[in-house]
């Protein structure tokens, strides 16, 4: 992979931005999010480290800038701000500000603009994409894997997800991951009961039978939204190739060694069209949040996703799933599957990227403090922490997360997300043409060929 990809990615991006306009900050009216820490610490009496081995008053000054892909009321923003406030009380030389965005695509656009002018923030959220791989090769990112190993923090991780999900092909890791996540199908048991469905589906034959029963009973079987949410289209695009060929399919597809216009690719496209028959009405004009709202309001019977929005569908008092919401694992596709029934989309949360230019002793001390504080704060926000407390224990979690922890322990292989594996131009093609495919505007063969054409045109710019 060549450094020219970074320049090319930024140039292409900036051309797109000149057409679309620069995205605003997290508040819906376009005003910037409030910063969290320009004030002077209220107290300096606790400026020594909790263990007494760090005199924080002697650490170098640091003003950390955070750019997050969530708005100010999101749990990730709240946790970051809370930790920063706590650390600021301990270190008189630390100040900070946080900028949030309503969605991650706008946030990543902003990061790419900053990268083009060499003004990257101290800390930002990002996924394992060719853009970030190019930044790493240019020496602009901290090697998180090395830091975790050198400090011993790696020993407090509860799962290998901290590394395996986000490491690059060469085994290097540049993303600080903090949570465990596993995707499920969420459903309304009352809808299933009314439709005469006695058990949750364990195979896709049973799944489509359930969809027919739900549809006959007057329910929209599946809530789905693709507007401004092409990553959600990618979720469906990647399921069947993973079942039939594992991650080798997409890893070879992205360089053109594997063709989408192939038996597995065509079968996947046909499956996507079949799934779309059971989507809610108007799905192409709905965004991801609207698909959540529709499901939660009972307007659809099932919804596939991660647990990042758990607080929206859980009881704030008990932390358990709301009444009439339950989950089941992704059904088995066929007897030709090469992965185990438990293998599906799993993640370590959105990665956090660190700017090597700001990574001084204060930054490193802040990371250690963050590591200590995160588990309990995450548990309160409905997030399953990836690391233990300093004493090796873990916060008590609702039963939903205990089930997730068990499912993750039985995971042999996680399904790679296509939207962070393919080149950016092809990511757009898969998303846009995927909508056309599922609406019936193009055939499976046309869909697959357009993906292959995009890869042939664009992949060499990003991959060796």
pLDDT of residue 464: 66
CA distance 301 to 383: 24
Residue 397 lies in a domain: no
CB 96 within 8 A of CB 84: yes
Band the pLDDT of 162: cuts 50, 70, 90: confident
Residue 3 has pLDDT above 70, yes or no: no
Could you report the per-residue pLDDT of 351-373, keeping only the tens digit for each? Answer: 999 999 999 999 999 999 999 99
* 425 in the same domain as 291: yes
* 119 in the same domain as 37: yes
Q: How many CB atoms sit inside 10 A of residue 276's CB? A: 20
* 265 in the same domain as 187: yes
pLDDT of residue 35: 41
* 47 in the same domain as 18: yes
Q: How many CB atoms sit inside 10 A of residue 464's CB? A: 8
* 127 in the same domain as 27: yes
Residue 409 lies in a domain: no
pLDDT of residue 49: 39
Residue 198 lies in a domain: yes
Residue 134 has pLDDT above 80, yes or no: yes
Residue 403 lies in a domain: no
Radius of gyration of the chain measured on its C-alpha atoms: 22
* Residue range 340-356: mean pLDDT, rounded: 93
Range of the domain at 97: 4-177+350-385
CA distance 213 to 200: 13
CB 181 within 8 A of CB 384: yes
pLDDT of residue 112: 96
Q: Which residue from 326, 102, 114, 133 is spatially nearest to 229, judged by alpha carbons?
A: 102
* 361 in the same domain as 297: no
* 375 in the same domain as 268: no
Q: Which residue from 244, 259, 308, 253 is spatially nearest to 421, judged by alpha carbons?
A: 253
pLDDT of residue 18: 35
pLDDT of residue 266: 99
* Residue range 168-172: mean pLDDT, rounded: 88
Helix (H) or strand (E) holding 187: strand 184-187
pTM: 0.79
CATH number at residue 162: 3.40.190.10
Band the pLDDT of 53: cuts 50, 70, 90: confident
Any idea which of 8-12, 74-78, 256-260 has the lowest mean pLDDT?
8-12
* 208 in the same domain as 149: no
Sequence-distant (≥ 6) Cβ neighbours of residue 376 within 8 angstroms: 389, 395
* 63 in the same domain as 125: yes
* Dihedral over Cα of 130, 136, 141, 143: its sign: positive
* 269 in the same domain as 232: yes
Phi-psi region of 67 (alpha: psi -120 to 50; beta: other; left: phi over 0): beta
Could you report the per-residue pLDDT of 298-319, keeping only the tens digit for each? Answer: 999 999 998 878 888 999 888 8
List, as one string, the DSSP characters of 237-284. HHHHHHHHHTTHHHHHHTTTSS-SSSHHHHHHHHHHHHHHTTBPTTGG
CB 280 within 8 A of CB 288: no
CB 137 within 8 A of CB 166: no
Which letter does DSSP use for residue 37 in this model?
B
* 429 in the same domain as 375: no
* 341 in the same domain as 368: no
User: Per the structure, how many domains does the chain have?
Assistant: 2
Q: What is the mean pLDDT of the chain?
A: 88
Residue 46 has pLDDT above 50, yes or no: no
Proportion of the chain above pLDDT 90, given as a percent: 75
Residue 386 has pLDDT above 60, yes or no: yes
Could you report the per-residue pLDDT of 59-76, keeping only the tens digit for each? Answer: 999 999 999 999 999 999
Band the pLDDT of 447: cuts 50, 70, 90: very high
């Amino acid at each position: 992979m060549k450094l020219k990809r970074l320049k090319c990615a930024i140039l292409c991006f900036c051309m797109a931005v000149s057409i679309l306009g620069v995205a605003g900050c997290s508040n819906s009216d376009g005003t910037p999010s409030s910063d969290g820490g320009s004030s002077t610490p209220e107290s300096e009496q606790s400026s020594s480290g909790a263990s007494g081995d760090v005199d924080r008053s002697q650490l170098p000054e640091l003003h950390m800038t955070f750019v997050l892909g969530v708005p100010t009321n999101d749990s990730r923003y709240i946790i970051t701000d809370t930790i920063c406030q706590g650390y600021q009380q301990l270190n008189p030389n630390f100040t900070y500000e946080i900028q949030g965005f309503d969605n991650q695509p706008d946030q990543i656009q902003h990061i790419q603009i900053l990268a083009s002018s060499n003004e990257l923030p101290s800390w930002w959220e990002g996924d394992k994409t060719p853009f970030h791989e190019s930044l790493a090769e240019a020496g602009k990112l901290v090697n998180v894997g090395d830091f975790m190993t050198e400090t011993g923090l790696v020993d407090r991780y509860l799962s290998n997800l901290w590394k395996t999900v986000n490491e690059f092909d060469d085994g290097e890791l540049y993303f600080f991951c903090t949570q465990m996540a596993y995707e499920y199908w969420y459903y309304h048991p009352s809808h299933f009961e009314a439709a005469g469905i006695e058990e949750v589906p364990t195979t896709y034959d049973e799944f489509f039978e359930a969809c027919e029963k739900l549809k006959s009973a007057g329910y929209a079987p599946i809530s789905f939204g693709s507007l401004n949410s092409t990553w959600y289209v990618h979720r469906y695009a990647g399921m069947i190739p993973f079942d039939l060929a594992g991650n080798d399919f997409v890893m070879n597809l992205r360089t053109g060694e594997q063709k989408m216009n192939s038996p597995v690719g065509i079968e996947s496209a046909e499956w996507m069209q079949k799934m779309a028959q059971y989507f809610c009405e108007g799905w192409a004009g709905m965004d991801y949040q609207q698909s959540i709202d529709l499901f939660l309001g009972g307007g659809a019977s099932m919804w596939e996703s991660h647990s990042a929005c758990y607080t929206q569908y859980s009881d704030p008092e008990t932390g358990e799933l709301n009444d009439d919401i339950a989950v089941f694992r992704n059904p088995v596709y066929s007897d030709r599957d090469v992965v185990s029934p438990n293998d599906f989309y799993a993640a370590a949360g959105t990665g956090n990227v660190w700017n090597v230019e700001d990574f001084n002793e204060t930054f490193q001390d802040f990371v250690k403090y963050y590591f200590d504080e995160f588990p309990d704060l995450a548990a309160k926000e409905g997030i399953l922490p990836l690391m233990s407390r300093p004493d090796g224990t873990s916060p008590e979690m609702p039963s939903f997360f205990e089930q997730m922890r068990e499912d993750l322990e039985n995971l042999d292989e996680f399904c790679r997300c296509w939207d962070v594996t393919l080149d950016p131009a092809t990511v757009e093609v898969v998303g846009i043409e995927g909508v056309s495919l599922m609406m019936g505007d193009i055939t499976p063969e046309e869909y697959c060929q357009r993906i292959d054409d995009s890869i042939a045109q664009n992949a060499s710019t990003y991959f060796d």
